[in-house]
Chain A
Amino acid sequence: MRAYSSTESSGTFLYRWDPRVKIVALFVYLVFSLSVERIMSLLLSWGLILLLALWGRISLGEFVRRMPWLLWFGGFLLIFYPFLVPGKEMFAVSCGPVYAAASFEGLYKGIVLLLRLAVSLSVLTVIMISTGPGKIFMALEGLRMPAVFLRTAEFTLRYIYICTDELRTMFTARKARGFKPAKSFFNAFTMNTLSHLIGMLFLRTYSRGERIYTAMLSRGYTGEIISLSSFKARSSDYLMGILISAVGAAVFFLDKGAL
């Protein structure tokens, strides 16, 4: 089980920044960053976010830890885009009647998408690490996000680890009675056992949901969750928000050649 870092330990402005202003400002920054076309502009956007993280004393290790996700998805973009976008031929692969040519334009597009992904992931990392899930949900509530969406996300985050643990325990219990998954996915016994496992997890999750609801009712729940959100934005919070948005806009106009 992995949890997001606690926000208590750090006293930098990035951690103390009003979460609502932080989310809006970084979202604006992200929109500008994702609208640029040049690789240099995207690198600049990414670099600025990493600088912001460094200034806020967020460990770069947090970004490195998330890199495998980026490479996993981004790797596909880099591999396939050169073959999907027509343009000046870089190299060609032929296998009998099949012929595929990779283009420089496709590679460029792949790199742009990979960098956009990197900027998005970095912005999310900054928000998650410096705010923490609890305050993010409260801030989103303050920003008038639909309650049903927030509750679904909150409950998912709260119970996903428990469901995973439950699945792991059930799987271990089956292994303890000699179950060994066959190498072939289509083995009837393995398929049967795994489908029972998933079915049982579904039933247990349903039953847990009932118990959670009962526990909520016992503390007076009537269908509406009342929040204790108490954010008070100071002028420095707004100034920081304007600054971050302005930097995003500057990179965008630089990319478009307007600056």
Chain B
Amino acid sequence: MSAENCAVEIRNLFHTYPGGVEALKGLSLKVPLNSKTALLGPNGAGKTTLILHLNGIFLPQKGEVFVLGRRVSRKTEKWLKAKVGLVFQNPDDQLFAPTVWEDVAFGPLNMGLKRDEVEIRVEEALKQVEAFELRDRAPYMLSWGQKKRAAIAGVLAMDPEIIVLDEPWAYLDPLGQEQIGDILNGLHEKGKTIIMVTHDVDFAAQWADWVIIMRDGILVAEGEPSLLTDEEVVSRGGLRCPLITRLFKEGGLMEKEIPYRLDQGVQILRNLLGGCRKS
């Protein structure tokens, strides 16, 4: 992958928290531009520490971070916050203003945009996540799913090129998950790079077109989602293969081209059943 095709490139990144906990121990990875990337790893893998580097909350203690080709440093902090939007796991940590409208306006106002431009962006962002009718509501009056959508709107209003979401499905019901999924797919179609932190391998296999597996602050593997069918790699990352892969492997159904997505599995089963019927 060439540098101009990378949304993010990390080179030998280290991070140690005060108290001595080493969260990143020489991490190197690449995120393709306009990709749907799933950042996988068990608890304590360093995923959250990594995403805080992408937005300039943490600056590299050792190593380098490149975002859209620019090296991250103190000088790029303001630029970085406009280019990389972070959606935190708990929307209550993100929504702090008295009304949804004011909260969504918080980022654009910090960017120094003019008032008219801010209002247009806020309106568009809220409409994009179907939360425009919530604009005058106080965040504490919203349901969890509504809070999530408002939190995403707060980031969209800054019009970032890269959107990073930390466990967006956490505590969401299936309908809420579907809504957020549709919003993210829509954003990807508009050319945004989406990075999603998760430890849900099944979801990552289904949704992502690029997968990164981390463990103990280092990279285990990165590549297309088909790498999730490699049991050795996945278990090194402290994870398990997708359910559909395990079904085919443990059932001895296929030896080559093991599926990792549901639709692939369904197609293979149809072909197999079709073959049986013919014979």
28 intermolecular pairs with C-beta atoms under 8 Å apart:
A3-B141, A134-B98, A134-B138, A154-B96, A155-B96, A158-B98, A159-B92, A159-B96, A161-B140, A208-B93, A211-B88, A211-B90, A215-B88, A215-B94, A218-B57, A219-B85, A219-B106, A219-B110, A219-B154, A219-B158, A220-B82, A220-B111, A220-B158, A222-B110, A225-B106, A226-B109, A227-B102, A227-B109
Residue A239 at the chain B interface, CB threshold 8 Å: no
Residue A1 at the chain B interface, CB threshold 8 Å: yes
B51 to chain A, nearest CB (A): 9
Residue A193 at the chain B interface, CB threshold 8 Å: no
The main secondary structure of chain B at its interface with chain A is helix
Residue A137 at the chain B interface, CB threshold 8 Å: yes
A82 to B31, CA, bound (A): 77
Q: Which residues of chain B are near A225, meaning CB under 8 Å?
A: 106
A3 to B94, CA, bound (A): 20
Residue B165 at the chain A interface, CB threshold 8 Å: no
B40 to chain A, nearest CB (A): 22
- Interface size class of chain B, counting residues whose CB lies under 8 Å from the partner chain: 35 or more
A134 to B139, CA, bound (A): 11
Q: Which residues of chain A are near B107, meaning CB under 8 Å?
A: 219-220
User: Are A220 and B110 within 8 A (Cβ)?
Assistant: yes
Q: Which residues of chain A are near B94, meaning CB under 8 Å?
A: 212, 215
Mark A residues whose CB is within 8 Å of B: 1, 3, 6-8, 132-134, 137-138, 154-155, 157-159, 161-162, 208, 211-212, 214-222, 225-228, 230
CB 8 Å contact bits of B103-137 with A (1 = contact, 0 = none): 00111011100010011000000000000000011
Mark B residues whose CB is within 8 Å of A: 52, 55, 57, 78, 81-82, 85-86, 88, 90, 92-94, 96-99, 101-102, 105-107, 109-111, 115, 118-119, 136-141, 154-155, 158
A219 and B141 in contact, given A211-B88, A214-B57, A228-B109 (Cβ under 8 angstroms): no
User: Are B86 and A215 within 8 A (Cβ)?
Assistant: yes
Q: Which residues of chain A are near B106, meaning CB under 8 Å?
A: 216, 219, 221, 225
Q: Which residues of chain A are near B55, meaning CB under 8 Å?
A: 218
User: Are A134 and B93 within 8 A (Cβ)?
Assistant: no
A6 and B137 in contact, given A215-B93, A228-B115 (Cβ under 8 angstroms): yes
B153 to chain A, nearest CB (A): 12
Q: Which residues of chain B are near A214, meaning CB under 8 Å?
A: 52, 57, 88, 93
Q: Which residues of chain B are near A215, meaning CB under 8 Å?
A: 86, 88, 93-94, 96
Q: Which residues of chain A are near B92, meaning CB under 8 Å?
A: 159, 162, 208
Q: Which residue of A lies closest to B95 (CB)?
A: A158
